[in-house]
Amino acid sequence: MGWQEYLDTHQNRFVTELQDFVRIPSVSAKPEHMPDVVAAGEWVVARLRAAGAENVALYPTQGHPVVYGDWLHAGEDKPTVLLYGHFDVQPAEPLELWETAPFAAELRDGRIYGRGASDDKGGMMAPILAAEALLQTTGRLPVNVKFFFEGQEEIGSPTLAPFVKDNAALLRADMIISADGGQWSETEANLLMGLKGLVGCEITVTGANADLHSGMHGGGVANPLHGLSQIIAALKGADGRINVPGFYDDVLDLTVEDRQAIARVPFDQEAYIAQLGVPDVFGEEGYSVRENLWARPTLELNGIWGGYQGGGIKTVLPSEARAKITCRLVANQTPDQIYALMAAHIHSLCPKGLRVSVERLPGSANPFLVPRGHNGTAAVSEVLSTLYGKAPYAVRTGGSIPVMSLLLQELGVHGAVMAFGLNDENIHAPNEFYRLSSYRKSQTAYCMLLERLGQG
Ligand code: BES
Ligand code: MN
Ligand code: MN
């Protein structure tokens, strides 16, 4: 039996297994789900062993654990390929908007619905199932393989850096392929050439030592909510420019070739507007929507709270107001530098009569660009071209995968992405799903990729 036939024969079992995996609520953001993240890691350990991987173990970090396993018998003349994915998921809230429970993993219309089905549990199964199919049908793998799965990607991999540093020898590889990312459509492929970085902060503005009667004290002291609003408003202009001094200093300008490459990828602005239900697009002036989405840094207010939110009227002058902000970064910005600039500027904007404090949020990522002519990306491109009958689009994303720049830093290897999630699958949102057709295709793609890499 060939691996294609093996995959077909065992597809029902693979689907049931993905359902079991999705049923583990491995939400890394919530401390009460820590045991579930561990359980998901243990599930991956068992599944890797069943697939035929060796030296499989759950490794602790200062935070959520990681899983490592390998199969290193292809021979010294064959490359070693590190295959990556994550088994943690985003929180499922708002729960009331799910049609079926987020961790029920229900099958409907050829799709598995559930938090993490697409991002990234469905995705990270592909390299495991491909390895199983090849081992079961040929008794070996065409290349040496290392599996590396983490349980903290969705919170910005806050304790992954020391793990990667301390275990650089274990992870050492000639090539890195991420099974986290996405594909263009069911019929067209893409090559991911860039990811953004990320850094965030929480701002607290405080006034009086307790909430006040706004008639007794309004006009006498400053209002923290109002002060916070003034700070927030000052951070970004109506022209979409971020007004933090020095923010753009390290930004690598888009070259003519970069802009041409981005313009070659189809984009229908009217369809984009209609799909999102917005009255218009908005971004930094002087750049196309695509350039802003893929290659310009952003600053977004993610949450702002304080004061009275209940029904009716309450004449309160709140004692405190808070906001969370994150910035998506592009080459060559760094999280440390941008955080320092933001914190200094926010302090400098502190209105009279109030105190402001800024705290860095845990989890961050460096921006990541794949160099042109990169070997891993070339192999992925060949496989996708064969599979889709057409060359993939060269795209970037505004999303982040912190491990990519960590692995580059510690192993000196640029990762390539080969993943099959589609952009309508509601990742991070209610009713996330993964297509069984994508699941099946991803298994073929990883078998083809491993074979391709084995041919040198
Ligand atoms: N898989 C996504 C990143 C992604 C999305 C890549 C779409 C390509 C296309 C990943 O799981 C993710 O959501 N990352 C977080 C990282 C953050 C918490 C540091 C993100 O981008 O918000
Ligand atoms: Mn992901
Ligand atoms: Mn995600």
The domains found in the chain, sorted by start residue, are 3-195+367-454 (3.40.630.10), 197-251+297-360 (3.30.70.360)
Tell me, what's the pLDDT at 444?
Answer: 98
Confidence of residue 305 (pLDDT cuts 50, 70, 90): very high
Residues 6+ apart with CB under 8 A from 278: none
Q: Is the CB of 399 under 6 A from ligand 1?
A: yes
Ligand 1 nearest atom to the CA of residue 198, by list position: 19
**Mean pLDDT of all residues in 117-140:** 98
Query: pLDDT at residue 373 above 90?
Result: no
355-360 β-sheet, strand order = 298-306, 320-329, 197-206, 355-360
Percent of the chain with pLDDT over 90: 99
Supply the mean pLDDT for the chain.
Answer: 97
Percent of the chain with pLDDT over 70: 100
Query: pLDDT at residue 212 above 90?
Result: yes
Tell me, what's the pLDDT at 208?
Answer: 98
Q: Is the CB of 402 under 6 A from ligand 1?
A: yes
Which residue's CA is the nearest one to ligand 1's atom 16?
400
Query: pLDDT at residue 374 above 90?
Result: no
Which residue's CA is the nearest one to ligand 1's atom 8?
181
- Per-residue pLDDT reduced to its tens digit, 269-286: 999 999 999 999 999 999
Tell me, what's the pLDDT at 207?
Answer: 98
Q: Is the CB of 291 under 6 A from ligand 1?
A: no
For residue 108, the SS3 value is strand
Tell me, what's the pLDDT at 65?
Answer: 98
pTM: 0.96
Structure tokens belonging to residue 392: 């993939």
Best CA proximity match to 115, nearest among 359, 426, 328: 426
Confidence of residue 380 (pLDDT cuts 50, 70, 90): very high
Confidence of residue 371 (pLDDT cuts 50, 70, 90): confident
Least confident of 220-224, 372-376, 407-411: 372-376
- Per-residue pLDDT reduced to its tens digit, 54-77: 999 999 999 999 999 999 999 999
Query: pLDDT at residue 348 above 90?
Result: yes
**Whether the Cβ atoms of residue 133 and residue 6 lie closer than 8 Å to each other:** yes
- What's the gap in Å between 138 CA and the centre of ligand 1? 35
Ligand 1 nearest atom to the CA of residue 123, by list position: 1
Tell me, what's the pLDDT at 182?
Answer: 97
- What's the gap in Å between 28 CA and the centre of ligand 2? 12
- Per-residue pLDDT reduced to its tens digit, 411-442: 999 999 999 999 999 999 999 999 999 999 99
Structure tokens belonging to residue 36: 């579930």
Tell me, what's the pLDDT at 456?
Answer: 84
**Whether the Cβ atoms of residue 53 and residue 70 lie closer than 8 Å to each other:** yes
Which residue's CA is the nearest one to ligand 1's atom 17?
156
- Per-residue pLDDT reduced to its tens digit, 6-26: 999 999 999 999 999 999 999
Tell me the DSSP string of 129-152. Answer: HHHHHHHHHHSS-SSEEEEEEES-
- What's the gap in Å between 272 CA and the centre of ligand 1? 20
Q: Is the CB of 122 under 6 A from ligand 1?
A: no
Confidence of residue 372 (pLDDT cuts 50, 70, 90): confident
Which of 89, 154, 294, 327 has most ligand 1 atoms within 8 Å of its beta carbon, as the pocket-test mutant?
Answer: 154
Tell me, what's the pLDDT at 418?
Answer: 98
